[in-house]
Amino acid sequence: MATTEALPETHDSHGHDHDHPPFLAHHFDTPEQQFDSGKLGMWLFLVTEILFFSGLFCAYAIFRAQRPEVFIGCSEFLNTKLGAINTGVLLFSSLTMAWAVRCAQTEEFKKLTGMLAATLSCAMIFLGVKSIEYSHKWELGLLPPAFYSYHPDNPHHEGVSMYLIYMALPFAIGLLGLVIWFLKAKASGDLFAIAVAKPMIVVFACFFVGVGLGTILESGETDHHSADHHAAADHDSSETAAAIAAAPSDTAAADGRALSSSDDSIRDRLARDETNTGIRGEVRARQRQGVVAGTGVVPRGAEIAGPIASVPTNVNTRSQAGVFFGIYYVMTGIHAIHILAGIGVLTWLLVRSVRQDFNRQYFGPVDYVGLYWHIVDLIWIYLFPLLYLIR
Amino acid sequence: MASHAHSHDSTHREGYDFAHPFPVWGLLLVFAALTLLTIITVAQASFDLGNLDVAVTMVIATIKATLVMLFFMHLAFDKPFNLIIFLGSFVFVALFIIFTLSDSRMTSSSFEPVDDEPPVVSTSG
């Protein structure tokens, strides 16, 4: 290494009897000391993250303690399948991240780049699925209190949501930019740029894999959708469309507005058909919400003073469901911002890993980013059951 | 850059050989356990356990979090000081949440939820 010749002169003066490796800052005696100091700093940062998120969990706890039935009722609107898939994706990204730290320690450079790219891809899939969840809820009017406008009889949105396009646009532009950069690098023979651009193209493409995955799972869901939504939105899911067409009265199924508003008998009759998953799901969700909001559940500590009629039966108001969605968006949104920040630092690591900056004495940055990434995963581990799995 | 000056002479020097890579089978095992616990927690959500529900999901989540902390975050083999700092934060989290929760129940009547009207049907799609 060229620097080893020059370094002793400048560093002997402050008492080193050995040469500096280029990665060792000269106020540290050994790489281990450097690593441990950085790690301590990272842990302190993670503590501030825990305290920061605890404020959100505290808000959640207060509102859930006051109105458990609101949380149960609104949780019906969150798609457990999408949440579970995202949990799996994040857990897998944690695996690849921990593996990346190992690769940095064992100096397997190719594998390190691959593992970082895999982690980044999982992060992108997570965001893609999340954007489907968000855009779908925004279209329904399931928003924080000030904007909350959900009503079961609202006309359903058809086709691709504008919100989804807005959210996907930065990623599409990023993907386009990377492809252009890759082609330019290819033309000029810049091997380093090619080695960086290739995995990053895969990473950005993975956002759209997530969008596709979310669309498929969302359209297959049966939790709270009425039939017209299925009939309208499932252009791609011919299976469900066929199932609805196969139902005894497909005209009634297609004209879902009349169904969802009043005609319970037709709906119940349709729901008896096994293949009619959309209507079956809606009926089941309504029954469950009825039980939850009505007489079925008496939350601990709640007082029932009046007759049954005075017990609130509708949690679908701004100060109830609206507050739930306010909490939901802030918690998952800030988590998603952390994912975005993670994507930023992981990209930085990917570039450095292509540059082969890391070795068994200098893997600190990979380790620290890994710790951050695991904390983000850790928070999701709690968010998922608290938001999606309430009943 | 690939030829590391330190690699031939400094490997056995004190403070230079501190990387302890976690074995791949260990990583995969932890991942398998985490996935299994996720499946369990999703599956249990379809059983009505009443008031135990939250407790059960939280216990499962905490087991998962512990696995991530101990093995993915290397706390099991790390300097104990890092663990103490990290667990210390949870003491403060507990203090914060317990006091705020008990406060919110005792003091503020203006905190009581309002029963307002549901939104009206929108006419435009």
Residue A193 has pLDDT above 90, yes or no: yes
Does the CB of B117 have a partner CB in chain A at under 8 Å?
A: yes
Same domain membership, residue A231 and residue A359: no
Distance CA B55, CA A383 (A): 14
What pLDDT is stored for residue B50 in this prediction? Answer: 74
What pLDDT is stored for residue A301 in this prediction? Answer: 55
Name the residue in chain B with its Cα closest to that of A352: B1
Residue B110 amino acid letter: S
Q: Closest Cα partner for B114 from A319, A65, A63, A326?
A: A319
Does the CB of A151 have a partner CB in chain B at under 8 Å?
A: yes
Same domain membership, residue A203 and residue A101: yes
Q: Report DSSP letters for A323-388, one per residue.
A: HHHHHHHHHHHHHHHHHHHHHHHHHHHHHHHHTT--BTTB-HHHHHHHHHHHHHHHHHHHHHHHHH
Does the CB of B16 have a partner CB in chain A at under 8 Å?
A: yes
Same domain membership, residue A194 and residue A242: no
Domain count, chain A: 2
Enter the ipTM.
0.85
Residue spans of the domains in chain B: they are: 21-76, 79-107
Contact B88 A312 (CB under 8 A): no
Q: For residue range A41-95, what is the model confidence (pLDDT) as tens digits?
A: 999 999 999 999 999 999 999 888 888 888 888 888 899 999 999 999 999 999 9
Contact B5 A4 (CB under 8 A): yes
Alpha helices in chain A (DSSP H): 3-12, 31-66, 68-75, 80-106, 109-140, 162-188, 191-219, 227-233, 238-245, 250-254, 256-261, 264-271, 277-293, 323-354, 364-388
pLDDT band at A8 (very low <50, low <70, confident <90, very high): very low
Matching residue, tokens 């008990």: B102
Same domain membership, residue A162 and residue A242: no
Distance CA A313, CA A335 (A): 32
* Residues 6 or more apart in contact with residue B102 via CB below 8 angstroms: none
A86: tokens are 């995202």
A160 located within any domain: yes
Same domain membership, residue A335 and residue A264: no
Same domain membership, residue A209 and residue A261: no
Interface of A with B in 95-124 (CB under 8 A): 95, 97-99, 101-102, 105-106
Interface of A with B in 282-341 (CB under 8 A): 300, 312, 314, 316-320, 323
The DSSP symbol for B37 reads H
* Residues 6 or more apart in contact with residue A277 via CB below 8 angstroms: A222, A230, A240, A243
Does the CB of B90 have a partner CB in chain A at under 8 Å?
A: yes
Contact A157 B73 (CB under 8 A): no
A186 located within any domain: yes
Mean pLDDT of B78-82: 92
B chain contacts of residue A367, beta-carbon cutoff 8 Å: 74
Same domain membership, residue A339 and residue A258: no
Contact B28 A95 (CB under 8 A): yes
Same domain membership, residue A135 and residue A97: yes
Same domain membership, residue A215 and residue A234: no
Residue A254 has pLDDT above 90, yes or no: no
Contact A154 B38 (CB under 8 A): no
A16 located within any domain: no
What pLDDT is stored for residue A233 in this prediction? Answer: 37
Contact A150 B100 (CB under 8 A): no
Domain limits for position A146: 30-219+316-388
Same domain membership, residue A113 and residue A40: yes
Interface with chain B: mutation pick from A29, A63, A102, highest number of B CBs within 10 Å: A102
Selected residue with higher pLDDT from A323 and A13: A323
Residue A232 has pLDDT above 60, yes or no: no
Mean pLDDT of B77-89: 93
Helix/strand/coil for B29: helix
* Residues 6 or more apart in contact with residue B9 via CB below 8 angstroms: none
Helix/strand/coil for A299: coil
- Residue A21 has its nearest CB partner, among B5, B60, B113, at B5
**A359 φ, ψ (degrees, to nearest 5):** -155, -175
From the CA of B116, how many Å to the nearest CA of chain A? 6
Average pLDDT of every residue of chain A: 80
CATH number of the structural domain spanning residue A371: 1.20.120.80
Q: For residue range B3-60, what is the model confidence (pLDDT) as tens digits?
A: 444 444 445 677 788 888 999 999 999 999 999 999 999 998 888 777 788 889 999 9
Mean pLDDT of A224-244: 39
Same domain membership, residue A251 and residue A120: no
- Residue A102 has its nearest CB partner, among B21, B60, B90, at B21
- Residue B119 has its nearest CB partner, among A87, A141, A370, at A141
Q: Which one of A286, A305, A337 terminates a domain?
A: A286
Nearest-Å Rg of the Cα atoms of chain B is 25
Helix/strand/coil for B49: coil
